[in-house]
Structure 1
Amino acid sequence: MTDRRPMSGMRVLDLTSNVAGPLAGQVLVDLGAEVVKIEPPGGEAGRNIRSTIPGQEELRPYFLPHHRGKKSVVLDLRNADDVTRLLALADTADVFVQGFRPGVLDRLGLGADVLRRRNPRLVHASLCAFSGDGEQHRRPGIDALIQAESGLLTGLTGADGRPLLPAPTVVDAAAGHVLAQAILAALLARERHGEGDVVEVALYDVAVSLQAPHITRQLHTAPEHAHLTETGRASLAVAPSGPFRAADGWLMLFAYVPRHWTLLTEALGRPDLRTDPRFVDQVERARHPVELAAALEDALAGHTVAEWVQVLTAAGVMASPVRTWRSVIRSAAFTEAALAVTVGEGARTELAVRTPARYRGFVPAGTTPTPRLGEHTDAVLGGVRA
């Protein structure tokens, strides 16, 4: 049977760590690539971050989701012989993806120009914190720092004004998918034009792109308006939008589209809200968020979150409970999407979250468990010698 996975037969060398780069590599694994994880003798950073939950001390939550089906090869890049081995391995690769600080691999003789002179069809992909040609490009950065630098924490503060970090590494996750997309685009260009390319994805650029509507508004607004900082998304004409209190908790509700606003007022038994001058259109609703929330929460107070989700969904209004992780994995949406995957068997059975895309023509790969450190060093290097 023909293997229809688009990257079947391709080799990727993955020299990234933590979340973003490994996630990109996981996407490529699922597309059929052989992804060889190049790790230092002590293992990459994410491999060494363990769970702090009692009874789960051996669980590596940042490593496990993004390394299914990969191979682990240990090379010490401070050792000249191992650098030579990596050069020879890169000669056999289709993609070389790395997340070192700018200039580090160049100093080791492993820069993009060197690798592509030896292997012109190689796609060289880099993940960095900041882009450009100046001092910023050399700055280190991780997800949390980039969230702060890029404005993603706008409006996210505690009662004392302390900035609050979202629990998910949002920038890392988005950057991982952007990096995979960039690699695939470079491979497509190679197939059409016969030569590899050099691509770069910066966490900061991804973080800014996630906020394009808000930053676009700020580009046309001077000076900064207070409501942009205080209400985040609600500063745009998208009301009602967000959390509203029902009888037993918070309901996430979105009815800013005129048709949905009509459906919401009917479902709530409050058609009079449509003729209230404060709520007559999207702009007026956005200008009166406090009054709008009070009116909606007065109507919502009569029923529980679960009851309102059922009523509003049936009426064609977007509504959801505000779930915790525990309730997410028990929800119908999670179950029907088959997002939890089981790989390996016996003592090496692992549960992970699949990558998001689904395909009719092939089954994604990555069905073997995360590799033990250096598990495939001998098999992959084979005849490669210094």
Structure 2
Amino acid sequence: MSVPSRPLAGIRVVDITANVAGPLACQVLRDLGADVVKVEPLTGDAARRITATAPGSEHVTPYFSPHNRGKKSVQLDLGAERGKNALRRLLSEADVLVQGMRPGTLERQGFGAAAVAGINPRCIYVSLSAYGSGSPLEDRPGIDMMVQAESGMLSAQPDGELPRLIPFQLVDGATGHVLAQSVLAALLHRERAGVVNAVEVALYDVACSLQANYLTLHMNTPRPSPQESSRRPVAVEPSGVFATADGHIALAAYVPAHWARFVEVLGDPGLASDPRYVDQAQRSLHAADLRAEIGQILAGRSTAAWVAECQEAGLMAAPISSWREVVESDLFARRGLRVDAEQSGRPVAVVRTPARLSSVGPEQETHIPSLGEHNDLLVGSPALTTPPRER
């Protein structure tokens, strides 16, 4: 019985990106069947050097390993003519170029959108940057952390406390999936209408999109914006994290039907008749009072007890899981999120990309390429990728 081909079988992607967002996008394309050639500088993707520090795990590269399975790696010095010639040959057979250099950088090296169209008019040109071309910040380097700060993600935190970063690369991750989605749309447009797009995705744009509800609120309210500590700026109370007798619980019971059931679970019918909490809007206008009353009740029992009772009542409630608990959980295993891969001859477990297609089996690419592993295969003589020795 023949194995069905994957959706992007026969599509070649040249990946000139580093760290998380771009490599993740190209990993999604690889898992869908594309042949992805990762072009790295002579020193390699910077993510290769972000290693684990736990004893015995120093070989693990958590920013590199999950996003580069099954790719081919070549080293090219794009400042040298031999490196440029090698890239031209790769692009002549490519369907997509994904590049993550600062706006203008690749153009100055002779590989702008117009130049690539001259090499291969069917090659879709995809640009990834922190702040986008034409913006006042286009020349600044930018990473997830900086974009979190400048896009508003660290606002609306408790007064008097140090703003807390989201402790993982949320913007990078979301941007990677948006970029992959954009590539798929561009490929479809090319096949249906013969249109070859230039695509641009910026971390800042994605970060703002992730906050669309709150940014919409602020675009439609007069200054000063409604940011009073005694009220919730939108009508979603009660929801959030609450303390229990032995830990914390995340819950959401702002929908009217859920609120009624939640009051029953709490065993305090007075909450339902209190005029401050009579409807969804009033509960959020009196958020501080409501949270104080709910907090007193929840503090009387354990997290496990409250979660069990809320879930039995059909409410949304969950404990706060640690990363260790997640990777050891039954849910993580049942969803098949672990991929046992191999890097430099050593086993390493990584997280798979999330999309599932019924025609594509659970098999995953498991080989993570070493730096320049495919130089000979794809760009010929190693002399094309290594700088000349000084005489």
TM normalised by structure 1 equals 0.94
Q: How well do the aligned residues superpose, as a CA RMSD in angstroms?
A: 2.1
Give the distance between the partners of 1:51 and 1:92, measured in 2 at CA: 37
- Tell me the distance in 2 between the aligned counterparts of 1:203 and 1:346: 31
Amino acid at match of 1:17: A
Which residue matches 2:325?
A: 327
CA distance in structure 2 between the aligned counterparts of 1:313 and 1:344, rounded to whole angstroms? 40
CA–CA distance in structure 2, aligned partners of residues 43 and 347 of structure 1: 18
Q: Secondary structure at the match of 2:167?
A: coil
Tell me how far 1:343 sits from its aligned partner.
2.4
Corresponding residue for residue 351 of structure 2 = 353
CA displacement, residues 136-179 of structure 1 (integer Å, 9 cap, x when unaligned): 3333211111011100111246x743221111111101100000
Q: 1:385–1:123: structure 2 CA closer, same or farther, 3 Å change rule?
A: farther
State whether structure 2 residue 306 is matched by structure 1 residue 290.
no
Rate the CA distance shift 1:242–1:306 in 2: closer, same or farther, 3 A: same
Task: Indicate conservation of the 8 Å contact 2:241/2:248, yes or no.
Answer: yes
The 2-side partners of 1:231 and 1:209 are apart by 27
Quote the sequence identity (%): 47
Do 2:375 and 2:382's aligned partners in 1 also have CA atoms closer than 8 Å? Answer: no
1:349 Cα deviation from its structure 2 partner: 2.2
Which 10-residue stretch deviates more, 365-374 or 202-211? 365-374
Instruction: Say how many residue pairs are matched.
Output: 383
The alpha-carbon distance between structure 1 residues 377 and 346, as it changes in their structure 2 partners (threshold 3 A), is closer
- In 1: Cα distance, 2:244 partner to 2:283 partner: 20
1:165 alignment partner, SS class: coil
Counterpart residue number, 2:29: 28
| Contact 2:238 2:253 survives alignment (8 Å) | yes
Greater Cα shift, 53-62 or 214-223: 53-62
In the aligned structure 1, how far is the partner of 2:333 from the partner of 2:382?
45
SS in 2 for 1:239: coil
Which residue of structure 1 aligns with residue 51 of structure 2? 50
Q: Assess, with a 3 A threshold, how the Cα gap between structure 1 residues 65 and 134 changes in structure 2: closer, same or farther.
A: closer
Residues 70 and 367, structure 2, Cα contact 8 Å, conserved in 1: yes
In structure 1, the partner of 2:153 is 152
Any idea what SS the aligned residue of 1:138 has?
coil
Counterpart-to-counterpart distance in 1, 2:135 and 2:127:
17
Give the deviation of 1:2 after TM superposition: 5.2
- Structure 1 distance, partners of 2:207, 2:344, is 40
Report Cα offsets for 1:159-209 as digits up to 9, x if no partner.
Answer: 743221111111101100000000000000001012421000000000000
Contact 1:343 1:350 in 2 (8 A): yes
Tell me, which stretches of 5 or more residues in structure 1 are unaligned?
none
Q: Which residue in the other structure is 2:92 paired with?
A: 91
Q: How does 1:59-78 map to 2 (within 5 A)?
A: 59-78=60-79
Map of 2:224 onto structure 1 = 224
- Match of 1:23, SS state, is helix
The amino acid across from 2:169 in the alignment is T
AA aligned to 2:11 is M
Distance 1:383 1:113 in 2: 28
Distance apart, 1:366 and its partner CA: 4.4
Q: Provide Cα deviations, 1:69-128, integer angstroms capped at 9, x if missing partner.
A: 111111111111111110111010111000001111111111111111221111110101
1:110-149 equivalent positions in 2, closer than 5 A: 110-131=111-132, 133-149=134-150
Structure 2: segments with no counterpart, 5+ residues: 385-391
Query: What corresponds to 1:300 in structure 2?
Result: 298
Q: For the Cα contact (< 8 Å) 1:349–1:369, is it kept in 2?
A: no
* Residue 179 of structure 2 is aligned to residue 174 of structure 1: no
SS in structure 1 of the partner of residue 55 of structure 2: coil
Contact persistence 1:342–1:352 (CA under 8 A): yes
The code of the aligned residue for 1:217 comes to L
Using the alignment, how far apart are the partners of 1:3 and 1:121 within structure 2?
A: 26
**2:138 counterpart SS class:** helix
Partner of 1:161: 161
- Cα distance between partner residues in 1 of 2:382 and 2:20: 29
* Cα displacement string for residues 42-82 of structure 1 (whole angstroms, at most 9, x for unaligned residues): 11111111112233222111001111111111111111111
Q: Is the 8 A contact 2:42 2:76 kept in 1?
A: yes
**1:294 deviation in Å?**
1.8
Number of the residue aligned with 1:252: 250
Residue identity opposite 2:118 in structure 1: R
Q: 8 Å contact 2:130–2:204 — kept in the other structure?
A: yes
For 1:165, the aligned partner's letter is L
CA contact (8 A) 1:26 1:68 kept: yes
Moved more, 350-359 or 333-342: 333-342
Partner of 1:40: 41
CA distance in 2, matches of 1:296, 1:276: 13
Higher share in helix:
1
Output the CA distance in 2 between the equivalents of 1:154 and 1:186: 35
Per-residue deviation at 1:345? 9.0
Q: What SS does the aligned partner of 1:135 have? A: coil
Change (3 A) 1:373 1:328: same
Query: Which of residues 373, 378, 381 is equivalent to 2:371?
Result: 373
